[in-house]
Amino acid sequence: MNGQSGMTLLEVLVGLMVLALTGLLLSGAFTFGQRAWSRGPDRAEPARIRIETAATLRNLIAQAAAPVPGSGTMRFSGEPDRLTLATHHGLALGGGRPREVEIYRDPTLDTLQLRIAGEERPLMLIEGISSLRFRYFGRDSRSAETWAGQSVLPRRLEAEIDFADGQPPLWLAVTLGGRYAADCVVLGRAACAGARP
């Protein structure tokens, strides 16, 4: 039994190189995974804020106050990039009566703003807005770019908010009068079942 036992120096060096290479690959994989893990919430947070803001807007618009019978005053005026309405939403209520709010894009700050009548300053809802578009639908389901001088609320309203950072646009559809069954809030232009008039 005169066999050689142990490993040669070359075998030891090759083994150490394989171990070092494996350690290097694992270290790179762990570093990459840690970076991806830490960036995940940073990317998810803006989308969450945008969806929550859109849901608040949807509720605010859906609770638009109908005109007072016999008064002839309609507190709803819609333009392509601005909406003014009286709402029953709790965010705007004052003394139990509906208050007038204005939703618009501030072009100097690129923000979506909510101005509540009687408040000193508007509320900033979302930053980084590149455009805001409203469309209004009457009883005949035809769309209009404006809704002014009407004696009734529009049946439906759609809003699209584009972002300067290239994220998918925020799109919401609202049925006025408190019926939420067909309403929709989505990032991008994904289809909502029953959301189109």
Q: Does residue 67 lie in a domain region?
A: yes
Q: Within its chain, how far is the Cα of 122 from the centroid?
A: 19
113 domain-assigned: yes
d(CA 116, CA 92): 6
Tally of CB atoms within 10 A around 102: 15
- Does the residue 95 lie in any domain? yes
Assess if residue 96 is contained within a domain: yes
Average model confidence (pLDDT) for the chain?
81
What pLDDT sits at residue 36? Answer: 76
What per-residue confidence (pLDDT) applies to 184? Answer: 60
Provide the domain limits for residue 94. 47-187
Domain count, the chain: 1
The answer to the question of residue 21 being in a domain is no
> Is 6 domain-assigned?
no
Share of the chain above pLDDT 70, in %: 79
**Which parts of the chain sit beneath pLDDT 50?**
1, 180-182, 193-197
In a domain, 68, yes or no: yes
pLDDT digits (tens, 9 = 90+) for 116-172: 888 889 999 999 999 999 999 988 888 899 998 888 889 999 999 999 988 889 888
Tell me the CA end-to-end span of the chain in Å, nearest whole number. 92
- Confirm whether 167 is domain-assigned: yes
